[in-house]
Structure 1
Amino acid sequence: MLAMRRDVMDIRDKVENQMTTNYGYSEMVSGSRREGFRLKESDIDFMYWPNNYSVIWELSQSQYYNTHRQTLILCDCSNSPPGFTLLYLLSPRMNREIQRACVRMYNRHYISSSIHRQIMCLLSSIYSTQHGPCASGTVGSIEYDYTCCFACDFWPPSASSWIDRCHSWPQPHVVDDIVKNGCHFVAIGNKLGSHEDHEWRISFSLAEHKLVYAMNHCQFLTYGLLKLFLTEIINNGVGDDDKLLCSYHMKTAVFCVIQQNTLPHWCPQNLLGGFWVCFKLILKWAYEGVCPNFFIPENNMFLSKIHGKNQHQLFVRLYRLYEKGLAFLLHSPSIRSYIINVLFNPRLSICTDEHTLISETEFDVNLYEEIQKHDTYSKFNIQSCTRYLHAVEQMMGSPLLTQYQVLVLQKLTAGVLQKTAFILYMETCTQENKLRYRADKISCHMLKLAAKFGCITDMMYIAKYYYKTLRYMEALSIIEMIKVKLAQPYVMYRFNVDTEMYTEAVEERSWSTKMRQAVAWYIKLDNRIHYISELIPEQQSALQNRSLVLFIPRLILFYMLEILCYRHLDRMIAQTALDDLQTLVHYEQGQLISIHLRDVSWQILGICQQVTGNLQAALYSYQQSLRQIPFSKIRTSTEMRIHEVCLQNQ
């Protein structure tokens, strides 16, 4: 399972990075989701940096660059605490954003981290809000942080001692790989430094990512236990401003314990033992008031926040837990059920074998869930979509791809083809007939091709396109095909699946065939593309609230398209479909419509009732939409539609 998650993230990161390089910058995905965790609080961190700027530690390193093409930045650590530095521009050549972020000190131009952070967060604030050095936002239920930084090809001199400490872990080839890939600089200064507003923090995110991948399974599970311990015990009920320990402290503890070889045997039988050793190290740090950075030990990560009264309170709390022994883990709802028998019977051990813990069908569910969460491409023009498809085509021929990565590339291809088809329509719908006809042929071909790569519900995009281009009979023929496929008892919809029927139907098939024949998902609409005119207000409302994607349950959109098509052809059948939609929305118990998508489901029911003339029912549906969890961020459009219905009723 862990290998699958990482393969999915790795291949998507590789494709995205190849694309961003074409736009003059590089991107790296990090965060706990990239590491392989799928905890409730797991997020994705994106770091991106301009390719035409490089940071060096000393002037002699400038010989490795073409200074006519590359703007060099020199580190000045002379007046900064360990782990931080000032960035001094060696060349007057710079882009407008960098120029605006410069301040003059010591007769030099330095890039101010605080000004640079404000500028970059403002540039991305259309869909995000500023949070520390990051621009933060959500896509569906996943939180993300975008951090604009600078890259350095050289390993920091202040971290050279780390290389000498790597005797037993990680292996030499991992150390070499980490060192040759250098580091990054993120726009945040040390609160206790004399140049807090202008300093940059040295980031080892890429190195940490490689170190987590270098852990064995038991070490990784220990890291996971520490993260759950932090969230569900230490920080449970504590406000963000009052949290003293963070996930980075947990990660540092695991790294230190592994490298120092404190625990000789990392195995399932000793999982709780590994946790206990890490916990005692954190307790020691709290007692001493010193948490050394894993790469630069001189950088005390407790210094800015955990000292004095805070340090004392943290130590007292951790020591009380220490006195209780491992039994305090029973206070964690996520951990309790797995360890309770082991705590009371030392002869037992915790099962960590995923083949024992999950069935083949459960694995398939998780695989398709993982792919669906990472199959979105954010660019919005024909040129970038074409380049993306070309990049995917090049990668598909690689013999190094895993079977999971091939599946991801297929699903990414389907998504990009769908997006390209609708963008092409938007760009040519007002052109002359001949050009419009050719574009229409291309769009139809791309959508049919996408359906061969994707899952059952990817056929819905063909129906949407036919409806958009007023071909109602063609749209209904696709809808009938989808209806037959969705009616099969073995079809998997998110986590709902008849395991026995699914196994019997597709057990020996490839994952690609399973996805195409037996997997259905919710529909994702890019809010910058107008797929259905009746949903434009909802997409615009979501976009205004920094949401790029609108998620719709498969049956909700299915019935909507059926109603919209039949109202032009047969109003009696349209009414029957509307009755089915109303029954679904009113009485569905959470299997077909998740609680987070009830707002958009009620909204679509209201739209269908309104267009068929039942204004009172539409008003009730819109009011129900307002009472749901505002996951889809469509409140503005709901209020607008309520006002519209009230005017029509007058």
Structure 2
Amino acid sequence: MSKYEDPLGNINSTFIILSETFIQRISESVFVGLCDIVGTSQMVAMRRDVMDIREMVGNQAKTIGSSMLSGSYREGFRLEGSDVDVMYWLNNHSVIWDLSQSQYYKTHRQTLILCDCSDSPPGFTLLYLLSPSRDRQIHGACVRMYNRYYLSSSEFRQICIFAFQKSDNTTPHGPCASVTSGGREFDHALCFVSDFWPPSASSWIDRCHSWPQPHVVNDIVKNGCHFVAIGHPLGNHEDLEWRISFSLAERKLVYVMNHCQFVTYGLLKLILTEIFNNGVGDDDKLLCSYHMKTAVFWVIQQNTIPHWSPQNLLGGFWVCFKLILKWVYEGVCPNFFIPDNNMFLSKIHGVKQHQLFIRLSELYEKGLAFLLHSPCIRSYIIDVLYNPRNSICTDDHTLISEAQFDRNILLYETLLDGPINQLDTQICIRYLHAIEQMIGSPLLTQYQVHKLQNMTAMILQYTAFTLHMETYTPDNKLRYRADKMSCHMLKLAAKFGFITDMLYIAMYYYKTLRYTEALSIIEMIKVKLAQPYVMCMGNVNIDMYYIEAVGGQSWSKKMRQAAAWIILLSNEIHYINELIPEQQSALKNHTFPLGVPPLVLLYMLEILCYRHVDTMQAQTALDDLQTLVHYAQVQLIPSDSRNISWQILGICQQVTGNLQAALYSYQQSLRQKPFHRIQTATEMRIQSVCQLA
């Protein structure tokens, strides 16, 4: 493989003859472009902070099991089409590597599982129970062999599929149940956890001389590993084998990359999608994102690139590309933690290996010019070729303005994972207790503090409405106390949340027949939303945002004073009776909570309240809602919310007696993108309108 030694490749005529300085300028330009796509270091750090604190609170509030977001989404990427990987495990089941490790557990409380790697390929193992499991499903997934009860990975995958069976859009994907919801793919995996590092990965510890640093190695080793339900296709017991998963370790390694290394990883992921796998059928996509990540890990650890910087981005990329090409040529891709585990063994061999090598070799012969085939990267290269003297700034703080940064927080991170499932007041209390324990920590970043405040507001809102739903008593005093507590929690939530969180108070007042109080809250919200500096669902007058509002302030303050966001209505809570059919339809289809644009909900509540107070004002509010839904731009009603917006307009028209207009609105709702999967409710309402007409 000596021909693959030039770190910059063979630059063909497309690049003319480029000096090293010119290559550096192209690298800088591509780096800036990738920061636009992948995110600046500050943006990526914020994403990770938000996800870390959400996971910590969630796991502390849970009693039976734990979960972990993994994969590229957790690493900080927000690339289009990326799936979201979630791992789940029971806290009372632990895997050990030898019997001596059982001394660290209370065996009367913990079900211990022992690894048996003696007859499995590297990176895989059999798992057998040392004591009966108290979980019937786990016990039912066991197969008796050699007088032991082995956990069957194939049976466990069926349990996973059943556990996350949402509708006809759930399919098996490796060890996961893959669920498509809201245009995004979620991979759910049930797994087991070990508190101990695998003996077969001990060589990795010895390799870590320069990267990662010793304290990172120690942190990774002490957190052990996971086991996911997939066997090796060439193993002796494929249906029983489990793959050792280093997802947690990989996340920690990605976290300690510098930003140029992370951007290089992002560039490889983009090239994989746009060039390596472009036009290739799913069965022929032999390379995957995990191979790209593994290449970056090896290149960083082997210290092949002495200095990772924006000026040397393409040099680092080229070394990674050559390593992948070498692996394909040899048919060996060594797992970063267990090198004996050849990740090409079952897929990349024979004719397919040869074809892939030819394909990659052709790209190599083009040199860096093959990057021109990437739609995302092409323009940043051409900019330098046509404007070689333009200055390029790679400073993180100048690549994105404060307003753009705030907009990204609002649009993509604020309510990252939405409402909590299976709500009751006890679960809400556990979440609040977990938040209370963390809120005073001096180690929290400002984005984690903001996320905790956001979660506090959300949990208080859930608790208030859940308490109202659960309080079925003829005792007036108890009902009064519950009502007073609910009102107090909603007002407290409004102090932590967005401007539009006051709408939860208005909904509660409407639900409890306090129409005048609800209208008073609505007027207050209108005044706040009318301010020119308010950032509503990411849309803002930048000059006003800085001059008249909160430029330079903490995001927590910005959220309270100058940010409005879509209203998420958990499908398990009945906020107002008029939306129950829509929530039931969404709940039946296991989809996202109803995401209602704030102005749509505001006008709806105004119409419903004024029906009992002033019918003329109700008609005025209905006219405003009709104008909004008919003519609003995507900034006010995103495409994902158009079906629920038309539905709400139809509901308001129906309750005010305009059946013909309501029928038209319901029909329009059916024509929109079915993001909320409320078609059942829409069809039911159309039928009721036709019967009344």
Which bracket does the TM-score occupy, shorter chain normalised? over 0.9
* CA displacement at 1:617 relative to structure 2: 1.1
CA distance in 1, matches of 2:358, 2:610: 69
- Residue 341 of structure 1 pairs with residue 383 of structure 2: yes
* CA displacement at 1:462 relative to structure 2: 0.4
Change (3 A) 1:60 1:349: farther
Partner of 1:159: 201
CA distance in 2, matches of 1:268, 1:571: 64
* CA displacement at 1:378 relative to structure 2: 3.0
Query: Where do 5+ consecutive residues of structure 1 fail to align?
Result: none
Partner of 2:130: 90
Task: Look up the equivalent residue of 1:120 and give its one-letter code.
Answer: C
Partner of 1:307: 349
- Residue 415 of structure 1 pairs with residue 466 of structure 2: no
CA distance in 1, matches of 2:393, 2:358: 33
- Residue 191 of structure 1 pairs with residue 238 of structure 2: no
Once the two structures are overlaid, the 10-residue window that deviates more, 412-421 or 11-20, is 11-20
Partner of 1:475: 518
- Residue 624 of structure 1 pairs with residue 668 of structure 2: yes
* CA displacement at 1:550 relative to structure 2: 1.1
* CA displacement at 1:225 relative to structure 2: 0.6
* CA displacement at 1:347 relative to structure 2: 8.2
Residue by residue over 1:144-194, the C-alpha shift from the partner in whole angstroms, topping out at 9 and shown as x without a partner, is 322111111111111111112112111111111111111110111111212
- Residue 233 of structure 1 pairs with residue 279 of structure 2: no
Aligned-residue Cα RMSD (Å) equals: 1.9
Change (3 A) 1:468 1:138: farther
Percent of aligned positions with the same letter in both sequences? 74
Give the alignment partner of residue 594 of structure 2, picking from 525, 546, 550. 550
CA distance in 1, matches of 2:384, 2:244: 42
> Any conservation in 1 of the 2:83–2:185 contact (CA below 8 Å)?
yes
CA distance in 1, matches of 2:392, 2:214: 31
> Any conservation in 2 of the 1:375–1:415 contact (CA below 8 Å)?
no
* CA displacement at 1:427 relative to structure 2: 0.6
Give the alignment partner of residue 513 of structure 1, picking from 547, 557, 573. 557
Partner of 1:530: 574
- What TM-score results when the alignment is normalised by the length of structure 1? 0.96
Partner of 2:144: 104
Partner of 2:32: none
Partner of 2:31: none
> Any conservation in 2 of the 1:602–1:621 contact (CA below 8 Å)?
yes
* CA displacement at 1:44 relative to structure 2: 2.9
CA distance in 2, matches of 1:351, 1:488: 35
* CA displacement at 1:94 relative to structure 2: 3.4
> Any conservation in 2 of the 1:375–1:412 contact (CA below 8 Å)?
no
Alignment of 1:284-299 (within 5 A): 284-299=326-341
> Any conservation in 2 of the 1:253–1:278 contact (CA below 8 Å)?
yes
Partner of 1:496: 539
Partner of 1:268: 310
Change (3 A) 1:351 1:284: farther
* CA displacement at 1:548 relative to structure 2: 4.1
Change (3 A) 1:520 1:219: same
- Secondary structure of 1:27's counterpart equals strand
Once the two structures are overlaid, the 10-residue window that deviates more, 129-138 or 197-206, is 129-138
Once the two structures are overlaid, the 10-residue window that deviates more, 301-310 or 186-195, is 301-310
- Residue 249 of structure 1 pairs with residue 291 of structure 2: yes
- Residue 396 of structure 1 pairs with residue 436 of structure 2: no
CA distance in 1, matches of 2:609, 2:281: 50
CA distance in 2, matches of 1:222, 1:77: 35
Partner of 1:4: 46
* CA displacement at 1:251 relative to structure 2: 0.5
> Any conservation in 2 of the 1:377–1:415 contact (CA below 8 Å)?
no
Alignment of 1:164-175 (within 5 A): 164-175=206-217
Change (3 A) 1:420 1:138: farther
Change (3 A) 1:57 1:319: same
CA distance in 1, matches of 2:484, 2:529: 27
Query: Where do 5+ consecutive residues of structure 2 fail to align?
Result: 1-42
Residue by residue over 1:212-241, the C-alpha shift from the partner in whole angstroms, topping out at 9 and shown as x without a partner, is 011011000000111111122223344444
Residue by residue over 1:14-39, the C-alpha shift from the partner in whole angstroms, topping out at 9 and shown as x without a partner, is 1112112xx22222222212111111
CA distance in 1, matches of 2:390, 2:176: 45
* CA displacement at 1:122 relative to structure 2: 1.2
- Residue 131 of structure 1 pairs with residue 172 of structure 2: yes
Partner of 1:367: 409
Give the alignment partner of residue 582 of structure 1, picking from 626, 634, 641. 626
- What TM-score results when the alignment is normalised by the length of structure 2? 0.90
Task: Look up the equivalent residue of 2:675 and give its one-letter code.
Answer: F
Task: Look up the equivalent residue of 1:480 and give its one-letter code.
Answer: E
* CA displacement at 1:508 relative to structure 2: 4.5
Change (3 A) 1:452 1:15: same
> Any conservation in 1 of the 2:132–2:139 contact (CA below 8 Å)?
no
> Any conservation in 2 of the 1:338–1:350 contact (CA below 8 Å)?
no
- Residue 457 of structure 1 pairs with residue 500 of structure 2: yes
Residue by residue over 1:418-473, the C-alpha shift from the partner in whole angstroms, topping out at 9 and shown as x without a partner, is 00000001111454322211111100000000000000110000001111111111
Once the two structures are overlaid, the 10-residue window that deviates more, 521-530 or 292-301, is 292-301
* CA displacement at 1:117 relative to structure 2: 1.9
Change (3 A) 1:592 1:169: same
Once the two structures are overlaid, the 10-residue window that deviates more, 414-423 or 391-400, is 391-400
Task: Look up the equivalent residue of 2:172 and give its one-letter code.
Answer: H
CA distance in 1, matches of 2:573, 2:164: 19
CA distance in 1, matches of 2:653, 2:283: 47
Partner of 1:80: 120
Residue by residue over 1:556-579, the C-alpha shift from the partner in whole angstroms, topping out at 9 and shown as x without a partner, is 111111111111222221111111
CA distance in 2, matches of 1:27, 1:188: 19
CA distance in 1, matches of 2:550, 2:194: 49
- Secondary structure of 2:305's counterpart equals coil
> Any conservation in 1 of the 2:643–2:669 contact (CA below 8 Å)?
yes
Give the alignment partner of residue 609 of structure 2, picking from 553, 565, 568. 565
- Residue 487 of structure 1 pairs with residue 530 of structure 2: yes
Give the alignment partner of residue 43 of structure 1, picking from 69, 83, 89. 83
Change (3 A) 1:201 1:431: farther
> Any conservation in 2 of the 1:268–1:350 contact (CA below 8 Å)?
no
* CA displacement at 1:115 relative to structure 2: 0.8
Give the alignment partner of residue 601 of structure 1, picking from 620, 645, 662. 645
> Any conservation in 1 of the 2:182–2:592 contact (CA below 8 Å)?
no
> Any conservation in 2 of the 1:139–1:549 contact (CA below 8 Å)?
no
Partner of 2:476: 433
- Secondary structure of 1:185's counterpart equals strand
- Residue 280 of structure 1 pairs with residue 340 of structure 2: no
- Secondary structure of 1:66's counterpart equals coil
Task: Look up the equivalent residue of 1:146 and give its one-letter code.
Answer: H
> Any conservation in 1 of the 2:70–2:84 contact (CA below 8 Å)?
yes
CA distance in 1, matches of 2:182, 2:527: 29
- Residue 356 of structure 1 pairs with residue 398 of structure 2: yes
Residue by residue over 1:3-24, the C-alpha shift from the partner in whole angstroms, topping out at 9 and shown as x without a partner, is 211111111111112112xx22
Give the alignment partner of residue 330 of structure 1, picking from 365, 372, 394. 372
Residue by residue over 1:287-341, the C-alpha shift from the partner in whole angstroms, topping out at 9 and shown as x without a partner, is 2221111111111111222222222222222222212222222222222233333
- Residue 62 of structure 1 pairs with residue 105 of structure 2: no
* CA displacement at 1:542 relative to structure 2: 1.1
Residue by residue over 1:389-432, the C-alpha shift from the partner in whole angstroms, topping out at 9 and shown as x without a partner, is 01111101111111111111001000000000000011114543
Give the alignment partner of residue 213 of structure 1, picking from 223, 233, 255. 255
- Secondary structure of 2:109's counterpart equals coil
* CA displacement at 1:140 relative to structure 2: 4.8
Residue by residue over 1:343-370, the C-alpha shift from the partner in whole angstroms, topping out at 9 and shown as x without a partner, is 6788889654331211111111122331
> Any conservation in 1 of the 2:166–2:179 contact (CA below 8 Å)?
no
> Any conservation in 2 of the 1:448–1:462 contact (CA below 8 Å)?
yes
* CA displacement at 1:524 relative to structure 2: 0.3
